[in-house]
Amino acid sequence: MRNRSVEQAWAEEQFGDAALGDRRRTLRLVRIARRAAENPSGKLSEVFSSERELDAAYDFVERDQTKVERLEEVVGRGTASKCVGPGRVRIAVDGSSARVVDGTGKKGLGRIGSDAKGGRGLKVISALAVDPVGATLGLLAQSWWARQIVPSRSHRQRQAARERNKPAQKETRYWLETIERSAARLEEVGALGWFQLDREADAWPTLLALSQSGHWFTVRSAWDRVLEATGRDKQYLRTEMAASPVLGSYTLDVPGHGGRSARRALMVMRAAEVTLSLRDKCNKKRHPLRVRVVWVHEQGTTPMGEKPLDWMLLTNAPTDSVEAARKVVLGYAMRWRIEDFHKTWKSGACNVELTQLRSRNAVIRWATILAVVATRIERLKHLGRTEPERPADDELTAVELEVLLVLKRRYKKRTETVPDTMPTMAQAVRWIADIGGYTGKSSGGPPGSTTIRRGLERLKNGVEAVVAMRQAGK
């Protein structure tokens, strides 16, 4: 690894064993991934500097020899192999969309956003694996589709159609497919998962699929669900939880954001075990599901005019102690890793929505490669935060560290001292962000994906120059 760039080593690790039907195709994928990691962009013309490389990249993504499903499988199984180890990996599952320009209407794209705005693109559900300390491992599964472009319908018409259709006829099926493939890939390697999903996943088919997956799950409740009851009167989840004894409390530092005041919130925690009465509106059948519930809500610290913090979490993980219930809450908090991934993938670094490729499958192939690049950037960013004392040479090569030190000394502040010893991950990530233009003035927080990406680009240019000079004997 020390004689190769970190991007080359990463690309070989990710795709070197990909069985694509032709070894030459695999080698081409490795080269494309390496270049995308060195200089990520939604436009191929901004990633590949030579005409030969650009033509090869277009040939790979535009032609159908490499099936979209096969590329997704390669990525998912590669991530699953990293999930083996002590503890349960967190699997954040969420949906997003990629808005793509389609001036001709011939790319095979679907509706994005409201009908009135006429947006076109693709929808996707992603399952992102995160290790127990919060560092990104990669994508376990992705499901892509194009929404049908249909005449405008009223809210009542859309609601009636949803109630008539079975799960296999709804977009719910893409959630189920993503969960099933993720669970199967974890089982292949003997890894244990803990699915983390937001309120959009609070639907009876999704809850049943999660309960049958063989792994733990946590879903934030979106509805005051009906419980199984022996009497004639209906019983509801929130009423039952309000009557449960308080399990414990803790304080939470809440940052100010979007009209929400910064404060130290007092969070009260309750836990109980209930049986949900899940109703299939298509055939009116009910499916009882036994789950544990952890309810945490703010009490006494909410500013006037603001809503208190409130999470009602459905889970099958243990909740029989304060520590166990807190693990459920902390596990759900890791779901935000997929929000960070979406930002890095779509706008923060990779800018996947800028692609000008000419077909749906080409867009998906290139977006999949960029998604893997985005997970790499996220991993580097979070390692600098979650494992700050880890040696930087765990992730960077010797020549990259050498060039990083030179660049950091060039761009350092007058009062700043750059040590000669091996930097930690926190130091290395901060230095990379510094040479990428990070000042901390706008947010005051740790470096984000955009400045890390810029720093990696400058680092890559320096490494290429040093390697070329040494090969020339200078």
Residue 451: band (very low, low, confident or very high) from pLDDT cuts 50, 70, 90:
confident
- Residue with token string 């319908």: 153
Encode pLDDT of 12-52 as tens digits. 989 998 888 889 999 999 999 999 998 899 999 999 989 99
Q: Output the pTM of the full model.
A: 0.86
Kindly state the percentage of the chain with pLDDT values over 90: 55
- pLDDT confidence of residue 2: 44
Residue 347: band (very low, low, confident or very high) from pLDDT cuts 50, 70, 90:
confident
Please state the separation of Cα 206 from the chain's center in Å.
19
Residue ranges covered by each domain of the chain: 6-68+356-376, 70-223+274-287+312-348, 388-471
Q: How far is CA 361 from CA 13, 66, 89, 121, 144, in A?
A: 24, 10, 30, 12, 10
Which of 117-131, 161-175, 331-345, 427-441 bottoms out in mean pLDDT, i.e. has the lowest?
161-175
Q: What average pLDDT does this structure show over 136-162?
A: 77
CA distance linking residue 385 with residue 448, whole number of Å: 11
- pLDDT confidence of residue 449: 79
- Residue 155 burial class via C-beta count within 10 angstroms: exposed 0-12, middle 13-18, buried 19 and up: exposed
- Residue 22 burial class via C-beta count within 10 angstroms: exposed 0-12, middle 13-18, buried 19 and up: exposed
CATH architecture, domain defined by 6-68+356-376 = Orthogonal Bundle (1.10)
Q: ∠ CA(73), CA(77), CA(81), 5° rounding?
A: 170
4-18, 55-69, 391-405, 458-472 — most confident range: 55-69
Encode pLDDT of 191-228 as tens digits. 999 999 999 999 999 999 999 999 999 999 999 999 99
Q: How far is CA 81 from CA 23, 75, 136, 163, 386, in A?
A: 21, 10, 13, 40, 21
CA distance linking residue 85 with residue 131, whole number of Å: 10
**6-68+356-376 against 388-471: fold identical:** no
CATH 3.90.350.10 fits 70-223+274-287+312-348, yes or no: yes
Encode pLDDT of 253-310 as tens digits. 988 887 889 999 999 999 999 999 998 877 778 889 999 999 999 999 999 999 999 9
Do 147 and 121 contact (CB within 8 A), yes or no? Answer: no
Give CATH superfamily name and number for 388-471: Transferase Inhibitor Protein From Tn5; Chain (1.10.740.10)
Q: What average pLDDT does this structure show over 360-388?
A: 90
pLDDT at 127 over 90: yes
CA distance linking residue 214 with residue 415, whole number of Å: 55
State the CB neighbour count (10 A cutoff) for residue 241: 19
Do 145 and 121 contact (CB within 8 A), yes or no? Answer: no
